[in-house]
Copies of this chain bind each other. A is one copy, B any other.
């Protein structure tokens, strides 16, 4: 907090631009209130589900206009107010020295005892995580732009050359492993992008299958995966390829509610990060498979796995989301899955031969443009 006050208090100094400048503005706002004898107060957009709205025009989740005030001289707010400013000071110091920290690091950096008390600024990581979300709203910057990273996961290969941290990296020349996607992709520069589309899949094992079959070379595309739900590094990388290079993103997941939700998060944004949809949601995402129709066409019924009660509840929930409930094709898919009472994994295609997915399934579906939008 000391650092933020100091930076905010001296208006004659040249002000930093970008996220750092916005952090300084928060400090200035607070110190101004103090000088004028007012109770230091910040105004925040409400982030609970009640304020998450689906915008039909942009096709993205977003936050509504409900706001709440947080005041230092309100016993119920004082600690959260302090936490937000403490984390703002930490983010500012990270930006100043050009270093990045993980969410867990920020927790430990904020976990100091307030002098002359036995009270810690934060006791649990959820508290510093919430404060970071506050800052995302207050500054309009993603936490990655505040030099705070989530976890790193995922691999990529394809006809692309990037520049990152002073290195030129050719995604087509990285052997069987590919490039390991960092948690933060804000500072990479695309030097050459000759691929025609991006194929994103939820499973690392499927990525290795396609990579071994040189799918990206034959199809002139980019193949990318994380494992399970996409990391933020992956989402931003996909989003940058979509907006900066106009590449369509095709998503390949299991035919189950969880796989379809991976697609949903990529396209519409996620409920918990609705305030960041502009930076993270990608309108030009298309669902490639696996669909209920594929199950019939490629005779995968014998690989059906019975839906659990949890799967069924999730399916029901998905069918009622604002962005799915009037979508005829998705409603049809949900109905077919419910009728079958079963899900199917991507890898069941291996029963047709190990390279069936690369040689037949994907080229056929992409040629026929069999997507769900």
Contacts and interface: CB of A to CB of B under 8 A. Distances in A.
Given A178-B180, A181-B177, A184-B176, A209 B105 contact: yes
Max chain B CB contacts within 10 Å: which of A102, A154, A155, A176? A176
A166 B162 CA distance: 20
A109 B152 contact: no
Interface stretch (A17-25, A322-330, A347-355): A347-355
Contact of A180 (B173, B180, B351): B180
B204 A153 contact: yes
A165 interface: yes
Residues of A contacting B: mostly? mixed
A14 interface: no
A54 to B, nearest CB: 33
Contacts of A213: 99
Contacts of A178: 180, 182
A166 B211 CA distance: 13
A174 interface: yes
A182 B166 CA distance: 24
B180 A179 contact: yes
A94 interface: yes
Given A108-B351, A303-B108, A205 B149 contact: yes
A318 to B, nearest CB: 24
B350 A100 contact: no
Contacts of A180: 154-156, 174, 177-181
A152 B153 CA distance: 10
A100 B209 CA distance: 7
Interface string A158-177: 00001111111100011111
> Number of contact residues on A: which range applies?
35 or more
A197 interface: no
A122 B367 CA distance: 34
A208 interface: yes
B175 A164 contact: yes
A343 to B, nearest CB: 14
A183 interface: yes
A239 to B, nearest CB: 17
B205 A176 contact: no
20 contacts: A99-B354, A101-B209, A101-B354, A107-B347, A108-B345, A108-B350, A109-B350, A111-B351, A152-B177, A153-B227, A163-B175, A168-B173, A169-B175, A175-B182, A176-B187, A177-B181, A179-B179, A179-B180, A180-B180, A183-B205
Given A102-B347, A108-B345, A165-B176, 6 more contacts: A151-B204, A151-B227, A152-B205, A169-B173, A169-B177, A174-B180
